[in-house]
Every structure is written in C-alpha cells, then in structure tokens.
Structure 1
Amino acid sequence: MTAFDEAFEHTVSLEGGYSNHAADRGGATNYGITEAVARENGYTGQMSELTLEKAKEIYQRRYWKPLRLDDIAAVSKPIALKLFDIGVNMGTGSAAKFVQRALNVFNRQQADYPDMAVDGAIGPKTVTAFITFMQKRKQQGETAFLKTLSSLQGARYIELAENREQNEAFVFGWMVNRA
C-alpha cells in the first residue's frame, strides 16, 4: 500500500460519508470533499452520489501533490500522513505553514538550515529543510515534529471555535480525532 493510499483510507475513515450539517460552512460534503471543492475538480453530480474513486482522485490532486507528500513520505510516512489529514481538514496552506513554522524554530538559529518564508507553499526549500531536519534529529525529530503539528492543529481548532461559535459543534471531535 502506498503512503497516499494509507493516508486516504485513514482520512476517509475520519471524514465518513455524506453529510450536510447546518453548522458546517462547507455545506454538503462526501468523504470530506466539500461541494465547492468537488465542483472545482469537475464533479457535477449530487454530493450524496460522489464516488469513493472520484474522492480519491480529488484528494491526490488537491491535497497530496501540492503538499509534496511523496517527498515527505520518503523520509517520514507518519509526518506525511499527518500533513495530509491537516491539509484536508484545514487546507493545504495551513498544513504548509505549520511545516514551515516548525522547521524555522527547529533549525537551531539557522545552524542546520536557513529560515524560510512561511508562505503556505511547500517547495524545494521546505522539502530540503525537512530532509535535513530528519537526518539530524532522526526518530526524536519525527516525534517532536508530529507533536508540534498536533499542537499547532489543536491551537487552530480553538481559534476557529473562538472566532465562530458554530464551530463549537465540531471542536470536540476535531480534538479527539485529529489534533
């Protein structure tokens, strides 16, 4: 099973099937794919009829590839899986910013690699810094990075609920299942 297949199965198990929760800004969703994202990716049918195969295609194109998760998974599959889930749940920009922020504070005042712009896009500099970080910090680095991603994710969920009361309907589940 590829890292993408594993990430997809895990995320779909958390997202579930069709939903149209009144408090969800995303509106009708299926397998975690919002109607807006489905339409942007060429799907024209009813959201309740979105196939798992189409969802998988969208997930790979919209979330896996922009985050360069094949490159990340080659070094740390657990981190790639975590970033995929964050990207799906919070957007790829947030996932990329979490990586960049973590790398910037873990570089020992630029002794290991230079700081990078926190621009929300994973490019060659981010990937190179991540590889360097993992080579230097090894298993402890992976553990610390995963904890950092979960911490940033949890803090963002709190902010979302504080800024939009309707998100309180979801924050407990986000914390239990995601952060």
Structure 2
Amino acid sequence: MNIDTLIDDAIGREGGYVNHPADRGGATRWGITEAVARAHGYRGEMRSFPRVDAVAIYHRIYWLRPGFAEVAEVAPTIAAELFDTGINMGPAVAVAFLQRALNALNRGASDYADIVAGPRVDAATLVALRAFLKKREPGGTSVLMKALEALQGERYLDLAERRPANEAFLYGWLANRIG
C-alpha cells in the first residue's frame, strides 16, 4: 500500500465529472468538489479540472494534513480506510472515527489513556493506536477496521434518514465504501 496507489484507486472509484442533482456537494471531477477545487486555486470549468490537481489535493488535504501518513507507518490498512472515509465524509470525520474507536476499545483506559478528540491524528492518537495493536494483535487490526466501518455505516444511515435526497446514494455508499 502506498499513497499513489490509494489515490489512483480513489480516482477510479470517484470517476470523472459528476453533477448529481441530489448531491449537496455540487459538481465534482475525480471526486474533488468544486468548492475544494476553488479553495485550492482552480478557476476553470469542473468538467476540465485536471487529474494532476486532484492528485495533489488528495495527497496534501486527504493524506498528509489529517495525519494518515503517520498512521500508515503503524497500520497501513487502517490508514487506507481512513483515507477513503476522509474522501467521502471529510478527513476530520475519519479522524474522529479512529479516536472514538480507540477510546471505546481501551477497556476503561486500562490498556492506554483516552484520547482527546481533534481534527488530526496527533501524537496521543498514535500512542493509543500502537498500544491497542500491541495488546490486541493478531486480530486487532481487523477489529479496529470493523469498528471504523460500523461508525461509517451508521453515519451513512443517519445522513439518509435526516435528508431523504441522500437515499439516492445510500446503496452505493454501503456497497462501495464499507467492507
């Protein structure tokens, strides 16, 4: 697993230009919303948004900034999951899922200290992740993945329940983003 492969896979899943009427994110290309493209200096038509710009945004905003590169040094499959979740729900949501899961799996802080939630993977989160894996491997990575996917699935259901237009996306989210 390396970030170039993860980005290529993400772009393959996200596809080219899309402007679904039910999607609040509006027009996207390569999975990058128009708002994100504009925030990073792109001024052209989204139909023409360059793939190279999408790659740079994925690398910087969805990999480096939230700290998933550091997670990859400890648990590559967890980092890949966080990256994909971050693309679809925002990196801060993916980080929160990791921190919530680690806090819930620490057996009342007897295995490692609780983590204060934040928008990025910090040193305390990495300490907790290492401690969890040391205590729970083999099998810990799989259990942590299940926890992350459960949180993701619950969020998708909540999004569809709160905004019926999101039901247009629920099947695909569950089919293509979990498991």
TM-score of Structure 1 vs Structure 2, range by shorter chain: over 0.9
Matches within 5 A, 1:7-156: 7-156=6-155
Deviations 1:31-77 (A, max 9, x none): 11000000111111111111111101001111101221121111221
What letter corresponds to residue 158 of structure 1 in structure 2? Answer: L
Equivalent position amino acid for 2:111 in 1: D
Q: What are structure 2's unaligned runs of at least 5 residues?
A: none
**Identical residues among aligned pairs (%):** 45
One-letter identity of the residue aligned with 2:36 = V
Which amino acid letter does the alignment assign opposite residue 126 of structure 1?
T
- The alignment's C-alpha RMSD in Å is 1.2
Distance of 1:129 and 1:38 partners within structure 2: 34
Higher relative contact order (CA 8 A, sep 6+): 1
Are 2:66 and 2:95, in contact at CA under 8 Å, matched by a contact in 1? Answer: yes
Task: Tell me the CA shift for residue 17 of structure 1.
Answer: 0.9
Report how many aligned residue pairs link the two structures.
Answer: 178
The 1-side partners of 2:4 and 2:87 are apart by 14
- In structure 2, how many angstroms separate the alpha carbons of the residues matched to 1:147 and 1:67? 21
Q: Which amino acid in 2 is paired with 1:133?
A: F
What TM-score results when the alignment is normalised by the length of structure 1? 0.95
Q: State the secondary structure of the residue aligned to 1:118.
A: coil
Separation in structure 1 between the aligned mates of residue 107 and residue 4 of structure 2, nearest angstrom: 34
Code of the residue aligned with 2:155 in structure 1: it is: R
Higher mean displacement: 62-71 or 27-36: 62-71
Deviating beyond 3 angstroms after TM superposition, the runs of 4 or more aligned structure 1 residues are none
Aligned residue for 2:127, secondary structure, equals helix
